[in-house]
A and B are shown apart, each in its own frame.
Chain A
Amino acid sequence: MGFDMKLARKDLLGIQELSVEEINLILDTADSFIDISTREIKKVPTLRGVTVVNLFYEPSTRTRTSFEIAAKRLSADTINIATSTSSVVKGETFVDTARNLEAMNPDIIVLRHSAAGSPHMLSKVVRQSVINAGDGAHEHPTQALLDMMTMREKKKRLSGLKVAIVGDIAHSRVARSNIYGLTKMGAKVSIGGPITMMPRFVERLGVEVHYKLEDAIRDADIIMMLRIQLERQETNLFPSLREYARYYCLNRKNIAAARDDVLIMHPGPINRGVEISPEIADGPDSVILEQVTNGVAVRMALLYLLSGGKS
């Protein structure tokens, strides 16, 4: 399993372009890495001499830390660049930045950017592998992979699962990557939220669309709640947080519509009391912290597979 196989691609830009076999390969490899993080000496020499650049144009503690820990556990050297587009020198383009980075010969560039498609642009300019750590509202492939890893671990399968994703679908890269991945893997996806948060023709992505929370989560094996960005209120996506919470906050009462053994997931950081009530977020069905743990394993797997997969 896994170790003699390679990911036959230079970059990981999104889930949309991955095949079922590739997703399985990544998840299987991640499973095999999980125990490294529980050993006394949490380090293997696999990626010694490999340089990983974490290029973050958007603040992110959790994803950047997860990538950094993943790289370090494989003995890669990591460089973190936290920047913002406002700090880019006037006259220097993103392509210039990419060429400069390329000239320093790293092996893998992990990019987080608020603008959709930035990793795609980077990947066309540099010969190094690019991992998309979230691009705008487009994709967040490592998040979807860790989500699928967690679901598979807990439910022993992906095919046939009913997964409900609730929240601001239009602005969520997590939702998109999960929709692409889960539908590919044979799960049934239903999405829920106010109609203002549903992107046009989203039903054509092969998902059920519901505007009532209970309808979206009915008989769900998994409920994934998305973080509500408070600033969205300004664009009238919803009238107020109070109103949003009233209709879309997952709580002890409305969760009854889902299966009894439902698992609760959230990509974090959570807004307790807005999209998820504290008793659910911190309750026995919540696997939110397991998601974080699995995130390290998934990222280790990707760094490994994109480096050529030679053990």
Chain B
Amino acid sequence: MTMLLKGGRVIDPSQKIDDILDVLIEGRTIAAVGRNLGDDGKGKKKDPAVTVLDLKGKLVVPGLIDIHTHLREPGYEYKETVESGCEAAVAGGFTSIACMPNTNPVNDNRSVTEFILRQAQKANLANVYPVAAISKASEGKMLTEFGDLKEAGAAAFSDDGRPVMHAGLMKRALEYACSLELPIVSHCEELQLSKGGLMNEGLSSTELGMPGIPTISEDIMVVRDILIAEYVGTSVHICHVSSAGAVRIIRQARERGVKVTAETAPHYLLLNDGALKGFETAYKVNPPLRSAEDVAAVRAGLRDGTIEVIASDHAPHSAIEKEVEFEYAASGMVGLETSLGLCWKLVEEGLLTPAELIARMTVNAARVLRIPKGTLKKGADADVTVIDPKKSWTVDVKKFRSRSRNSPFDGWKLPVKAVLTIVGGEIKYNEL
């Protein structure tokens, strides 16, 4: 099938394109990006077999990539399945998502990786990149079979949610992953320092009488992983940066040439620990919402490129985990369906240009995962997201495609909406 996306504002940071252009999709790939494609110059179609979509006033961007999600299958299908997660993804404009290994069983062997990919294939919506565990059962003791997992389709390794405490194991993991040319994605949290903590340690935790998670629990592990990567001579990716210290440490490391990349999530850019005043469990997340000063530093890091990726850390939980006392509530918020609209607030505020935001949600993310995505170059997979920059909407968790409703952004008015999501040349979501 041939599809012509006509007259939209094409923003493709991978080619530094930001112009009113047409995008021609043939079969599963991008055939061309240019002016007056498929046109005889007199406004008539050359080929009646071409599906033409008039995208005047819309933004046409490479399919968005979310490198940090939790799809909960296998094991916690009541929170999310691969299919429901993919539905949420395409509704949010994401064409590719990476899913973390903290399922049950943990994605620490070929059979689980293959299962996730099979479920994704059945769902036939977004591209799914399973992230396999660094250690068996994510227990932080023994390495998983990186080679076998890579062959099965694992895109990266991480013990997200159960951080690797053992520096020796982390060194081995970085070395071994380096030899296989796969990224290590590190959830940085020193568990002795964060133990028992429920929220950021600061004035708010003091006022609320809740045990705090100090920023240094994050910072110390960011330092550790950067030093190990530097020593080994490899790269490392830092997950969900939330603290001013982590931003500073990553910036300094990059300045001296360490191959460290970093992501943050919309909630670390838009919310601070003052939001916990009402003890709403929707705000409970790990790392926790930090102070306003940390938020300012994370924004500055995003602005100057220290943090080059935005990921949602989509973490579905049901009422059983969230309608309980704050102390007993699970950490995490869903994000796939709100991420783009929330991040666009940063464009509205002037922190990022549209192209800078799109880069952080496409080509930069692809570079971290080392996947040939996030671009509208000729010959690339035809993953395209169309954004309506005038379609403001109000978040209603009851309308989520995700099986879970745990979003603190319920009721927020968001400025833009993904209205068309094309994956591999096929329309997977359409509200044009």
Q: Does B319 contact A (CB under 8 A)?
A: yes
Residue pair B326, A200 in contact (C-beta under 8 Å) = no
Q: Does B278 contact A (CB under 8 A)?
A: yes
How far is B328's CA from A118's CA once the two chains are assembled, in angstroms? 10
Residue pair A200, B201 in contact (C-beta under 8 Å) = yes
How far is B234's CA from A37's CA once the two chains are assembled, in angstroms? 75
Q: Mark B316-336, 1 if CB is under 8 A from A, else 0.
A: 000110011111100000000
Q: Mark B194-208, 1 if CB is under 8 A from A, else 0.
A: 000010011101111
Contact of A117 among B203, B208, B320 (CB under 8 A): B208
Q: Which residues of B contact A199 (CB under 8 A)?
A: 205-206, 212
Q: A16-B207, A93-B320, A116-B279 are in contact. Are A200 and B327 (CB under 8 A)?
A: no
Residue pair B209, A200 in contact (C-beta under 8 Å) = no
Q: Does B210 contact A (CB under 8 A)?
A: yes
Residue pair B320, A91 in contact (C-beta under 8 Å) = yes
Q: Which residues of A contact B319 (CB under 8 A)?
A: 93, 95
Q: Mark A132-170, 1 if CB is under 8 A from B, else 0.
A: 000111110000000000000000000000000000001
How far is B279's CA from A96's CA once the two chains are assembled, in angstroms? 17
Q: Does A112 contact B (CB under 8 A)?
A: no
Place the interface of chain B in its size category: 20 to 34
Q: Which residues of B contact A91 (CB under 8 A)?
A: 320
Tell me how far the C-beta of B382 lies from the nearest C-beta in chain A, rounded to whole angstroms. Answer: 45
How far is B208's CA from A282's CA once the two chains are assembled, in angstroms? 33
Tell me how far the C-beta of B279 lies from the nearest C-beta in chain A, rounded to whole angstroms. Answer: 3
Question: Which of A28-36, A201-209, A269-277 makes up part of the contact surface?
Answer: A201-209
Q: Which residues of B contact A200 (CB under 8 A)?
A: 201-203, 205-206, 212, 214
Residue pair A118, B209 in contact (C-beta under 8 Å) = no
Q: Which residues of B contact A137 (CB under 8 A)?
A: 209-211
Q: Does A115 contact B (CB under 8 A)?
A: yes
Tell me how far the C-beta of B196 lies from the nearest C-beta in chain A, rounded to whole angstroms. Answer: 8
Residue pair B320, A139 in contact (C-beta under 8 Å) = no
Residue pair A115, B327 in contact (C-beta under 8 Å) = yes
Residue pair A117, B205 in contact (C-beta under 8 Å) = no
Q: Which residues of A contact B328 (CB under 8 A)?
A: 85, 94, 115
How far is B318's CA from A91's CA once the two chains are assembled, in angstroms? 11
How far is B278's CA from A121's CA once the two chains are assembled, in angstroms? 8
Q: Which residues of B contact A204 (CB under 8 A)?
A: 203, 206
Tell me how far the C-beta of A10 lies from the nearest C-beta in chain B, rounded to whole angstroms. Answer: 15
Q: Which residues of B contact A136 (CB under 8 A)?
A: 209-210, 327
Q: Mark A172-196, 1 if CB is under 8 A from B, else 0.
A: 0100100000000000000000000
Q: Does A73 contact B (CB under 8 A)?
A: no
Q: A93-B319, A115-B327 are in contact. Are A120 and B278 (CB under 8 A)?
A: yes
How far is B201's CA from A170's CA once the two chains are assembled, in angstroms? 11
Residue pair B324, A117 in contact (C-beta under 8 Å) = no
Q: Which residues of A contact B208 (CB under 8 A)?
A: 116-117, 138
Q: Does A266 contact B (CB under 8 A)?
A: no
Residue pair B207, A117 in contact (C-beta under 8 Å) = no
In chain B, positions 294-324 with a C-beta closer than 8 Å to chain A are 319-320, 323-324
Q: Mark B262-296, 1 if CB is under 8 A from A, else 0.
A: 00000000000000001101000000000000000
How far is B326's CA from A120's CA once the two chains are assembled, in angstroms? 10
Q: A116-B210, A201-B202 are in contact. Are A93 and B327 (CB under 8 A)?
A: no
Q: Mark A80-94, 1 if CB is under 8 A from B, else 0.
A: 000001000001011
- Among residues of A, the one whose C-beta sits closest to the C-beta of B195 is A235
How far is B198's CA from A51's CA once the two chains are assembled, in angstroms? 34
Q: Which residues of A contact B206 (CB under 8 A)?
A: 170, 199-202, 204-205
Tell me how far the C-beta of B2 lies from the nearest C-beta in chain A, rounded to whole angstroms. Answer: 52
In chain A, positions 101-130 with a C-beta closer than 8 Å to chain B are 113-118, 120-121, 124
Tell me how far the C-beta of A125 lies from the nearest C-beta in chain B, rounded to whole angstroms. Answer: 9
Residue pair B323, A95 in contact (C-beta under 8 Å) = yes
8 new A-B pairs (CB below 8 Å) besides A115-B325, A139-B209, A200-B214? A94-B328, A115-B326, A116-B198, A200-B201, A200-B202, A200-B212, A201-B203, A205-B206
**Leading 4 A-B pairs by shortest Cβ distance:** A117-B279, A138-B209, A137-B209, A115-B325
**Using a CB–CB distance below 8 Å, which chain A residues touch chain B?**
16, 85, 91, 93-96, 113-118, 120-121, 124, 135-139, 170, 173, 176, 199-202, 204-205
The contact sample of 19 A-B pairs, CB cut-off 8 A, is: A16-B207, A85-B325, A85-B328, A91-B320, A93-B324, A94-B324, A96-B323, A113-B325, A115-B326, A117-B278, A118-B279, A121-B279, A137-B210, A137-B211, A199-B205, A199-B206, A200-B203, A201-B202, A204-B203
